[in-house]
Amino acid sequence: MNNKTNPDNSSNCSPADCTFCEGCSENAVSLQEHHSIRITLDDDTEKECSILSVFSVKESEYIALLPLDENGQSTDGEVYLYRFSLTESGDPVLSNIEDDDEYAAAADAFNVLFERAAAEENG
């Protein structure tokens, strides 16, 4: 995985930090620039998804995506979770989470992030 350097060059950050960080090196992908991503599902259909968050659980990175309809809206509130990494050139790579325990841990971590964001929004 391609780690990025913080603006002050004091430590490396992970892709999960892109959710909150505005200053990565010029060669790094900043997910803040991308509000959505097009994915191909198992049945070969393509789906546009809004990027909700990239987050860490233990030593792995995950991405939470909100699938959008043809009008750019989410009608059912379903969220897709994938394992997330970056190639050497900084391109994002998503992979299915095959293990039920790993999926449960990623879902729990996302739920905590979602609840915190909702609490902050509601003041």
3-state helix/strand/coil string of the chain: CCCEECCCCCCEECHHHHHCCCCCCCCCCCHHHCCEEEEECCCCCEEEEEEEEEEEECCEEEEEEEECCCCCCCCCCCCEEEEEEECCCCCEEEECCCCHHHHHHHHHHHHHHHHHHHHHHCC
Supply the mean pLDDT for the chain. Answer: 77
The answer on pLDDT for 26 being more than 70 is no
Q: Tell me what the mean pLDDT of segment 84-95 comes to.
A: 91
pLDDT for residue 27? 32
For the chain, what are the domain ranges? Answer: 36-121
The answer on pLDDT for 54 being more than 90 is yes
Q: Tell me what the mean pLDDT of segment 66-77 comes to.
A: 87
